[in-house]
Chains A and B, each alone.
Chain A
Amino acid sequence: MTVLDLPLWAALPVCILLLLGAGNALAGAIGLLRLKSFYARLHAPSLMTSGATILICLASMITFAVLQNRWIFHELAIIAFMMITTPVTLMMLGQAALYRDRAEGSKEVPHKEAGLREEAAVEE
């Protein structure tokens, strides 16, 4: 393993960003435990996929830009792919929950046909 010679002025922001990112991810995990409803818990992992990912990738970018041994393209690609792919998972989870709650006849979730009926009434 090689020891990285990172100057202090670069090491400080890298450490702060890493700690903030890790803290963000931890807060997301705590939220996943503490929040009560399924829909509220959907928001907890998005703390990790947006805030934590961006902060940790920024720390990695600064490190490798200062050390000058790699392009920062990888981190940008990671951020872009996280942004593009997470909606797929969250949408599937959200739709499955909505479907289940509607099948159970829950009053708390918005009804699906409500919008269509309103529009039909307007057209008539």
Chain B
Amino acid sequence: MRYWFPFPFLSLGLLTFWVLISQSTSPGTLLLGGILSVALAWAMVNLSPHKTVPGRVRPVFRLVGAVAVDIVRSNIAVLKVMLGRRGKPATAGFLQIELTLTDENAIAVLACILTATPGTAWLEFDRTSRRLTLHILDTADGMDWQHIIKTRYERPLAEIFQ
């Protein structure tokens, strides 16, 4: 059983996704979706992903709320920089943060969050020194990015995944 279905939840999720996308429950759809979901779960075995079980639910809502607010805010902030006067250059700069997160999936979620909020670009994460290098588009807008990332993103992520 474990051999045929190495990642049962992934297979089930893929099948559900397939049915929802094609919006039909005809035998053909189910058969093709079933074959695909099992085959793709086998492909995942070779990638040997790090399995994580999310622990608590409440920090998820807090994180999603914070990210939604930050996406809107950072979009507006970056729009101002892009369309601002040519004479006033944005003071872009690099930022290095020591991450305390150890779970690889949590770090992947953090990468998605930082990319989804314009104004912060993920450049590099060094596994041995656990140092994350970011590029900040506008460092002069008075926002303490280190504080924002540490408290708004990293703490809820640590609560969810560890």
Contact = CB atoms under 8 A, between A and B. Distances in A.
A117 to B, nearest CB: 10
Contacts of A44: 82
Interface of B: 17, 20-21, 23, 71, 75, 78-79, 81-83, 86, 89-90, 92, 94, 96, 111-112, 114-119, 121-124, 126, 128-129, 131, 133, 135, 137
A115 B92 contact: no
B96 A39 contact: no
A24 B135 CA distance: 21
Contacts of A39: 92, 94, 121, 123, 135
Interface in A28-51: 28, 30-31, 34-37, 39-40, 42-44, 46-47, 49-51
Nearest to A45: B118
28 contacts: A30-B82, A31-B81, A31-B82, A31-B83, A36-B89, A37-B92, A39-B121, A39-B123, A40-B92, A40-B137, A43-B137, A46-B78, A46-B115, A46-B117, A47-B118, A50-B115, A51-B75, A51-B79, A71-B23, A74-B21, A84-B112, A87-B122, A90-B115, A91-B115, A91-B124, A98-B124, A115-B126, A115-B131
A45 to B, nearest CB: 9
- Interface hub of A28, A87, A119 (most chain B Cβ within 10 A): A87
A70 B71 contact: no
Interface of A: 24, 27-28, 30-31, 34-37, 39-40, 42-44, 46-47, 49-51, 54, 70-71, 73-74, 77, 83-84, 86-87, 90-91, 94-95, 97-98, 109-110, 112, 115-116, 119
Chain A's interface: helix, strand, loop or mixed, by majority?
Answer: helix
A49 B71 CA distance: 11
A55 to B, nearest CB: 9
B112 A87 contact: yes
A95 B132 CA distance: 12
Contacts of A31: 78, 81-83
B121 A71 contact: no
B146 to A, nearest CB: 14
Given A37-B92, A94-B124, A110-B94, A50 B133 contact: no
B82 A46 contact: no
A34 B75 contact: no
Nearest 7 A-B pairs (CB), nearest first?
A31-B82, A51-B75, A94-B123, A115-B129, A87-B115, A46-B118, A42-B121
A86 B158 CA distance: 23
B19 to A, nearest CB: 10
Contact of B135 (A28, A42, A47, A70): A42
